[in-house]
Amino acid sequence: MRRVTRLPAVIVAVVVAAIVGVWLATHVQVDPPATVTASSSTPGTSAAELLSAADSVAEPPATDVSTIEAGASPDASAWHLGDETWRSDGPAKGSWVTVAWSKARQIDHIRIDGAGGPAHAYTAAVVYFDTGGSYWVTPDAQGNVSVDIPAVTATTATVRFVDSATPDASVSLRAIAFDDAGSTLAAGHAAPIASSTAAGSSATALTDGDVASGAVGDSWTPAADDATPWAGITWTSATSIAAVQIVGADGAEGSVHGTLVFSDGSTLAVSGVTSGADPLTTIAFPPRTVTWMRLELDGGGSLGELAAVDSATTPPQWPTQSGLESHPTSPSECDPSTPPVGTSTGSELALVCPATGTTISGQATVVVTAQAASTVTATAYVPGSGDVEIIASQAADADGVAVLTFDASPLLHGPMAVKLTTASARNPLYVQLYNESGADGTAASAVPPGMTLRYEDDFSEPLSITEDGVDARYAATKPAGDSGSEFSDAVLADPAWGTDTLTSLDGGYLRITLQDLGARTDPYGWDRTYLGGLMSSARIGSSGFSAQYGYFEARILAPAGAGTWPAFWMLDTESARLPGQGSGEVDAVELYGHDPTGTCHTIHNWDSQIPSPDTVCRDGGDTQDWALTWHTYGVLIRPNGADMYIDGQLVASHDGLDRDSLPYFFLINLAAGGGWPVNLQATGDDVEMYVDWVRAYT
């Protein structure tokens, strides 16, 4: 008989405890310690108690959104009010609550319990995770939320309250929780729905085309007697979506507009949908969990396609049919005998050759005029060192001509610039060239973690643009109702003029030029003498691309020079439809060519009772000369404001954006003036702005 050795009871207990501990660690999420902070707190209330309040009070049964039919509203009486734990000491809009855990945890369910009733209930909120993007939540009339979301892993969650029923109402909560008690969201079967259909039409026409291939298919038209027409999509189970794409009916005239309504009770303005060769309107937004959506049309109209895009997908773009492209200027003889490109007065520098945008490679030569016997120093950005370095130095001869020769191989590939200075010249001279040799200086996106790409253009195809945006992806004017508008000391060029002011350069860059107006006359009668350019993602009629609470980003190499005014900025879509009723403007960056190390960032509330904040202008700091170096300029539009970034570093933050919850479209321009005199004679009245790519995320 084999002898059995019995382990002591203590050892058995330890082993069992270890096994159980391992099982718990791998199967049960244990809440790590957490802290709660808030933007403000009414005396006698505390945000720090919101988590513990959720632990002590069972979550009331939430309305099952899957049972809500399209056209109905969520039941606002499902939850009862509890004791108030925290109330903001100020309006709901702009208030926030942040939960921070000591270590990362998985979250797929958001719970917010209201406490103040309709008098202190917010109307919407966006939840931001430090590692997982953001999510839109819509409460019932009492401020209650219980929603499942795609799983994220995060160490902080911030609830930013969008608005309230009355402007001055605070927000009041009894509890808040983020946990992993949610259900897995898997997109259910989608089907088109509509309030009615005209004879010969069908709701199935809303989904019979294909955006990616540019196919509209048939069109849907509501019945003539339908006073409140709408078209939509319904899903068989809760689905997370983050963009809607709408195509105008083939051959339809004018623009239709309306409101997107979602099963969670949220709404979103659709300012315009047009038809044409590029009829696509895409509106991106923070993801939300829904079982249906519908587009309610104001004044009726017809639609070609209606599609929703899930929260993990980049929406397809309509294929371009045609566009404008250009190539760098071919090299030519460049020596002291070459007729000068630019002119100057006194001791200032002027360009002899090569002309702006000329191709160079390997050994390159730049000739300038300068004060006789003065030393001209040339500097340029060197990708290998990541710094601006001296590349050549030469004294001007007795005739006031300096010839500078340098090796272009270590410099930026593609668009680049050389900065020339002398002790006697007050202003530096920037010579813009296209380097066919050189090193790649491409920078990666600096998008915040967890956000998904919703729009991108790398300008590898001919630029699809017309003045009003009809039959094109972009408009070349600032949209304003049924026409364009201008603001610059340079005329914003109509691409049909054939001036090559707006083109795709060499299949990889957007190029916008600022040049002499020449024999043309100012169409607005303002006696302007320069010609610039603008590209807008919204067309006349307000169709095109826009994003609600999006992060917009562009990589730009801008031109210096007295009076140049490059900018990357955003406007709300309703301002493009109704320009006389106010607008929200977000300036991701404005650059002024007299100071190519400074940058300006601001928001504007035009025709609003809410004052605009002061513009933040930086004197350069750690930002390298933006006329010599590519920079990535980004802006996150958020509830109540916007945060501006350069190369991923926060440089400005503004609160008080009035029309923050509307979708915003982007504009990129090379204008002139902006309060500064324009004088580009030193480079022959010709400078160029380059954009490597533009992107938008939610």
Sign of CA dihedral 283, 289, 291, 297: negative
In sequence order, the β-bridge partners of residue 664 are 547, 572
Q: Taking 70 as the threshold, does the pLDDT of residue 165 lie above it?
A: yes
Mean pLDDT of the region 34-62: 87
Q: Taking 50 as the threshold, does the pLDDT of residue 328 lie above it?
A: yes
Paired tokens of 564: 């140049």
Mean pLDDT of the region 166-194: 89
Q: Does residue 165 sit in helix, strand or coil?
A: coil
Mean pLDDT of the region 187-192: 86
Helices (H) and strands (E) counted in the chain, each on its own, are 3, 42
Cβ contacts of residue 616 below 8 Å, gap of 6+?
Answer: 600, 601, 602, 644, 651, 652, 654
User: C-alpha 577: how far from its chain's center?
Assistant: 20
pLDDT for the residue numbered 494: 95
- Summarised one tens digit per residue, pLDDT across range 373-405 is 999 999 999 999 999 999 999 999 999 999 999
Least confident range from 91-100, 244-253, 407-416: namely 244-253
In terms of DSSP bridges, do strands 616-618 and 599-606 run parallel, antiparallel, or are they unpaired?
antiparallel
The 3-class secondary structure across 535-563, one letter per residue, is: EECECCCCCEEEECCCEEEEEEECCCCEC
- Give whole-number Cα distances, 474 to 278, 465, 697, in Å: 9, 5, 19
Q: Taking 60 as the threshold, does the pLDDT of residue 330 lie above it?
A: yes
pLDDT for the residue numbered 61: 55
Q: How many CB atoms lie within 10 A of CB 268?
A: 21
Q: Looking at this protein, which amino acid is placed at residue 590?
A: E
Q: Taking 70 as the threshold, does the pLDDT of residue 621 lie above it?
A: no
pLDDT for the residue numbered 622: 61
pLDDT for the residue numbered 168: 86
Looking up tokens 């040049």 gives: 515
Q: Taking 70 as the threshold, does the pLDDT of residue 18 lie above it?
A: no
Phi (first) and psi of residue 478, to 5 degrees: -75, 115
The Cα angle at residue 487 between residues 482 and 488, in degrees rounded to 5: 135
pLDDT for the residue numbered 70: 55
User: C-alpha 360: how far from its chain's center?
Assistant: 34
Paired tokens of 428: 């530096």
Q: Taking 50 as the threshold, does the pLDDT of residue 269 lie above it?
A: yes
Q: Could you tell me the pTM of the whole model?
A: 0.92
Q: Does residue 10 sit in helix, strand or coil?
A: helix
- Summarised one tens digit per residue, pLDDT across range 413-422 is 999 999 999 9
- Summarised one tens digit per residue, pLDDT across range 335-360 is 999 999 999 999 999 999 999 999 99
pLDDT for the residue numbered 116: 74
Looking up tokens 């001509």 gives: 401
Residue 457 contacts residue 536 (beta carbons within 8 Å): no
Q: Taking 80 as the threshold, does the pLDDT of residue 117 lie above it?
A: no
Mean pLDDT of the region 300-308: 94
Cβ contacts of residue 429 below 8 Å, gap of 6+?
Answer: 348, 349, 350, 351, 368, 419, 420, 421, 682, 683
Of 30 and 322, the structure prediction assigns the larger pLDDT to 322
- Summarised one tens digit per residue, pLDDT across range 135-149 is 999 998 888 999 999
pLDDT for the residue numbered 12: 43
- Summarised one tens digit per residue, pLDDT across range 417-453 is 999 999 999 999 999 999 999 988 767 788 888 899 9
Q: Taking 80 as the threshold, does the pLDDT of residue 86 lie above it?
A: yes
Domains and CATH numbers, the chain: 34-179 (2.60.120.260), 190-310 (2.60.120.260), 350-435 (2.60.40.10), 455-697 (2.60.120.200)
In sequence order, the β-bridge partners of residue 126 are 136, 160
- Summarised one tens digit per residue, pLDDT across range 206-255 is 999 999 999 999 999 999 999 999 999 999 999 999 999 999 998 888 88
